[in-house]
Chains A and B, each alone.
Chain A
Amino acid sequence: MLFRTRRLAAVSVAVTAATALVAGCTSGSASTSGASGDTLTLWTHNAGNSVELDVVKKIIKDFNGSQDKYKVKLQAFPQSDYNNSVVAAASARKLPCLLDVDGPNVANWAWGGYLDPIDVSGSEVPVLSQLASTVGRYNDKLYAFGFYDVSLAYFARKSVLNANGVRVPTMDKPWTKDEFNAALAKLKKSGKFEYPLEMGTGGTGEWWSYAYSPQLQSFGGDLIDRGDYKTASGTLDGENAVEWATWFHSLVAKDYMAKKSGADPNKDFLAGKSAIQWDGSWNAAKNAEKLGDDLAIIPPVDFGNGPKIGGASWQWGMSSTCSNKAGAQAWLKFSRQTKYFVDYAKATSTIPATDAAAQQIADYQPGGKFDVLVQFARKYAMVRPATPAYPYISTEFEKASKDILAGADPKDALGQAAKSIDNNLKTNNYYSN
């Protein structure tokens, strides 16, 4: 009996041990989060972007060398699943002390309790000197700040536009809707382009809201009524929005634009497959290098309500579960030096968040090659709605836009999205805490 029971016990122990072994394997990843003592973990989304990652590494190295108390440790993720990783870590209560956050998600992450407000007063660069779109606020509290913003623009070859009798627009006189449509018609008629316009319709996720909701806003529509952020009906499916959707679908219907772009739209543009590309400032340097003076950086089209682009890019914040908030704040303050703002902008060809930084980069100085991008960001940027419902709104807008391109009735598709958003707001009690 004793013998047999022992056997059974031995197997039970073996099974338990195997399970524990498996559990033990996870401890590796668990212990790297948060902070252990004065060693703080930092998460960033740019594992796939080595130039930007290098700047982060440099700031960390400088910070670790500047004092003896704290140490910051880096963990980089690929951008495609960074947000999911953060959500999972938040639900598993395993967030690191420091992390970066895409601007439009600040409100949701603050509401969800992932982030704590930060205090960076007394740092070299005052928050007030930053581009408004690079500061993440929710309920009047500061949760995050960024070093740069990006800007969207139309890129084209001046030679192609001239050859087809299309005016190269300026900020003083941007294209109007009719002018833009006429330009596309001419380019299509030239027979040189299967699809003259490239807007990256093969992308997924946040790109849809980032790239196309500013066009919706230029038509006079919006993702949600920004009066009280409580309803999308009447705004997202209003008359102006339907007009946008009708126009958006016409691009595909008239073969001006592909229903689904190829894997690398910028490569296609540079190879001459498309005449005009709606793309981010991050490709400006590459385009300038390839096309030289022939490159035209064109402001967004004024569809009636002024040209618009989306504001807010990646920003830095501190998790609410951080066990060493003094250390996290110290790092955030340390990073706010003009030289780092300059480093970011240079490395990633993005727009520096402060004037002081912009003045140190020739291309961004008044009259510089990319000064116009800074002007766009300053003049046309409109942040995506700062509400905790934003991630949901964004997925609904993406679905509606895809459906519209695929031929759905514009009013129905937008109406359904507006209804879903309203329901989401209602069932979440308008995201009140």
Chain B
Amino acid sequence: MPTMFAARERLRPVRRARTTNARRRESFTAFGMATPAVVLLIVFLVVPVALAFTLAFTDARLVSPTPARFVGLRNFTLLFQDPTFYKSLRNTAYFAAVVVPLQAGLALVLALLVNAKVRGVNFFRTVYFLPVVTSMVVVSLLWTFLYREDGLVNHVLSTLTLGHVQGPDWLGDPATAMPAIILMSVWQGVGFHMIIWLAGLQTIPAELYEAADLDGATRWHRFLHVTWPGLRATRTFVLVTITIAALSLFTQIRVMTQGGPLDSTTTVVYQAVHSGYDQQQTAYAAAVSLIFFVLVLSVSLVQRFLTREKD
């Protein structure tokens, strides 16, 4: 750093010598270079977010012979009377509440397993990561097959328990459909967060471990007093990203269960797509999207607040 400051000092006279013309040129070029990204973000992100707030108060449809009209809070009134909407909220919360700790915890275990200094960890890291590179659509199709009543999962269960356990029709039973989707989602996504944890683990200085070893700390103590505190920044990131991904649950539902059986797997995003695309109720879907937006925003703000407090 000191050398950089020195360099800047030396260059200062050159800078001063630059004319206002050069400044203007710099601004002009900078505007030119930033414009494509800024314009695209405005058109494809800012405007649609603003539209969610506008369309939700109209009766817009994707195709309609009549122009959209302002209808006040009608879409929200209907939404709050719709039992499916409450089920969507409940299922989304259920999914997030299980997946967040499960996936974050398992990912940390995997990261610790492949962070050890033994031979072959690279191989294991690669294998654990394979499902992440596989598309969720493919994973969902594959597991639809595995979860059949006469599918691989039940055959394996039966073999492992010597025939004592006869698995259910996982996706056809309201009691097991969501847990089955949760397991599959964790299976697919856990490798991603393993890598994030791993990157965090590798930022912890080795001296801290050596010092702990000198103090004769047990493995558990070492984890508690060196590893865990060292992962503070990573923790926030893992928490926030898994939560947002979990709240956005859609692909698995669309491919595997279409919200059924008995609405046991319908989610907020699934409901938005079903009403907005399948049933062409654009305005109603905008209302669902708006509520989802508020939900995500408040959850991430709360998480940010909680993690900040501890710092």
Contacts and interface: CB of A to CB of B under 8 A. Distances in A.
A402 B261 contact: yes
Contact of B33 (A8, A111, A403): A8
A395 B279 contact: yes
Interface stretch (A297-305, A343-351, A425-433): A425-433
B154 to A, nearest CB: 16
A408 interface: yes
Report whether over half of chain B's contact residues are helix, strand or loop; otherwise say mixed: loop
Contacts, number: 62
A423 B262 CA distance: 21
Interface string B56-92: 0001011111100001001100100011100000000
A408 B84 CA distance: 13
A423 B83 contact: no
B65 A113 contact: yes
Contact of A8 (B29, B61, B66): B29
A259 interface: yes
A203 interface: no
Contacts of B258: 204
Contact of B262 (A4, A407, A433): A407
Contacts of A4: 29
Interface string A1-35: 10010001000100100000000000000000000
A160 B281 CA distance: 49
Interface string B33-69: 1001000000000000000000000010111111000
A1 to B, nearest CB: 7
B303 interface: no
A91 B62 contact: yes
B262 A112 contact: no
Interface size class of B (residues with CB under 8 A): 20 to 34
Contacts of B172: 259-260, 406
B66 A433 contact: yes
Interface in A128-169: none
A420 B281 CA distance: 12
A259 B279 CA distance: 25
Is chain A's binding surface mostly helix, strand, loop or mixed?
helix
A206 to B, nearest CB: 13
A257 interface: no
B260 interface: yes
Contacts of A433: 65-66
B32 interface: yes
A406 B258 CA distance: 13
Contact of B260 (A91, A114, A402, A428): A402
Contact of B32 (A8, A87, A391, A406): A8
A232 to B, nearest CB: 15
Contact of A90 (B33, B63, B74, B174): B63
Interface string B221-264: 00000000000000000000000000000000000001011110
Given A4-B29, A427-B74, A112 B261 contact: no
Contact of B65 (A112, A260, A408, A423): A112
B62 to A, nearest CB: 5
Contacts of A391: 279
Given A423-B78, A428-B59, A433-B65, A392 B261 contact: no
Given A1-B25, A112-B64, A395 B260 contact: no
Contacts of B281: 424, 427
Contacts of A427: 59, 71, 74-75, 78, 281, 284
Interface centre among A15, A395, A423, A433 (most CB of B within 10 A): A423
B286 to A, nearest CB: 13
B278 interface: yes
Contacts of B25: 1
B280 interface: yes
A416 interface: yes
B248 to A, nearest CB: 23
Contacts of A406: 172, 174, 260-262
Contacts of A1: 25
Nearest to B32: A8
B71 to A, nearest CB: 8
A350 B95 CA distance: 48
Interface in A173-223: 204
Nearest to A4: B29
9 contacts: A12-B32, A91-B62, A114-B63, A259-B172, A260-B172, A406-B261, A427-B71, A427-B78, A429-B66
Which 8 A-B pairs have CB atoms at the shortest separation, nearest pair first?
Answer: A406-B261, A113-B65, A406-B262, A91-B63, A112-B63, A8-B32, A91-B62, A403-B262
Interface of A: 1, 4, 8, 12, 15, 87, 90-91, 111-114, 204, 259-260, 391-392, 395, 402-403, 406-408, 416, 420, 423-424, 427-429, 433
Given A90-B63, A112-B64, A427-B281, 20 more contacts: A8-B32, A12-B32, A91-B62, A112-B65, A113-B63, A114-B63, A391-B279, A402-B260, A402-B261, A403-B260, A403-B262, A407-B174, A407-B261, A407-B262, A408-B262, A420-B82, A423-B78, A424-B281, A427-B75, A429-B66
